[in-house]
Amino acid sequence: MPRLLTAVILTTLMSHISFADSQDLSIVTTDEDYPPYTYTDKNGKAAGLYIELAKQVSLSLGIEASFHALPWRRATALARQGKIDILLIAYDNVENRRSFWIIPGNELGETTYTVCTVKEHPAIDKYKKISELPKQLIINTVNGYDYAFAIEQNIELNTQAIGRSEPHLISLLLGRRLEAILIEQSTLENHPRKKELCCLNEKIIGATEFIAFSKAATSRQQAENFSSAMRKFKQSPEFKELLEKYQLSGL
């Protein structure tokens, strides 16, 4: 689905009422499209599997959730400051643990990445191994994102952060402004110009994505309560129906 320019920015965003003091739960996500997980629908509202999952779990706790789709850096900053209760999505790393409650049970899914170039690039074809990529090849990534690759894969890439989003990276690559990019597999699969790219068959397993609770706005107990409700919902028929709606077998 193409990105819509209208972001979901509610008037209550800056006059935030903490989750600790009310039954309202504010959740912020990126305004970029990553279907089927998060994207902006035709009405300019945040939508997708992760949005519906968070909404259903909130309802099971008797909480009304509001969603805000913003540029990623602003979304992260607001959550760190406690002006938003939850950041959707975050990785479990040292930096995030300083600002967020990262609780087992609040997992969303595991990311898978791939390296792509334009089709005529002389150094790369889809059958190459990641270890065979030229050492001098600069692989561009999204600025501000954390790519925590599985240790057992022993991945070493010559990366440089430049793009504001993965769709932006693809547009720069197709415009011949970059040699190679690292993007999520789901982004590639849903991109309308994916046939113009050459992507490695070998994939890189990344970190697990979490629903992260802002320490400045919520307590650990609230994050743990959400975790318990999330675990329960994932065992329900409603969760299975949700996966089927987005044509997925699991997270």
Q: Are both 71 and 184 inside the same structural domain?
A: no
Q: Are both 216 and 98 inside the same structural domain?
A: yes
pLDDT interval class at 15 (50, 70, 90): very low
Q: Are both 60 and 115 inside the same structural domain?
A: no
List all residues 6 or more positions away from 24 whose beta carbon is below 8 Å from its beta carbon: 17, 63, 64, 65, 66
Q: Are both 84 and 42 inside the same structural domain?
A: yes
Q: What pLDDT is stored for residue 185 in this prediction?
A: 85
Is pLDDT larger for residue 53 or for residue 129? Answer: 53
Q: Residue 213: pLDDT above 80?
A: yes
Domain annotation covers residue 10: no
Domain annotation covers residue 60: yes
For 148-207, the pLDDT digits (tens) are: 666 556 677 888 888 777 888 999 999 999 999 998 888 888 788 989 999 999 888 888
Q: Are both 161 and 175 inside the same structural domain?
A: yes
Domain annotation covers residue 79: yes
Its domain, for residue 104, covers 19-108+209-245
Q: Are both 67 and 138 inside the same structural domain?
A: no
Q: Are both 213 and 156 inside the same structural domain?
A: no
Q: Residue 53: pLDDT above 90?
A: yes
Q: Are both 122 and 234 inside the same structural domain?
A: no
Q: What pLDDT is stored for residue 1 in this prediction?
A: 39
Residue 60 burial (C-beta neighbours within 10 Å; 0-12, 13-18, 19+): middle
Q: Residue 14: pLDDT above 90?
A: no
The H-or-E segment that residue 27 falls in is strand 24-30
Q: Are both 197 and 225 inside the same structural domain?
A: no
Domain annotation covers residue 191: yes
CATH code, domain carrying 188? 3.40.190.10
Domain annotation covers residue 14: no
Domain annotation covers residue 5: no
- How many domains does the chain fold into? 2
Measured distance CA(204)–CA(211) in Å, rounded: 22
Domain annotation covers residue 7: no
**Average pLDDT of the chain to the nearest whole number:** 83
List all residues 6 or more positions away from 177 whose beta carbon is below 8 Å from its beta carbon: none
Segment 118-132 shows an average pLDDT of 81
Q: Are both 63 and 26 inside the same structural domain?
A: yes
Q: Residue 61: pLDDT above 70?
A: yes
Q: Are both 195 and 73 inside the same structural domain?
A: no
Domain annotation covers residue 6: no
Strand 159-163 to strand 139-142: parallel, antiparallel, or no bridges (unpaired)? parallel
Angle of helix 49-60 relative to helix 237-245, nearest 10 degrees, comes to: 160
Strand 204-214 to strand 86-91: parallel, antiparallel, or no bridges (unpaired)? antiparallel
Q: Are both 64 and 184 inside the same structural domain?
A: no
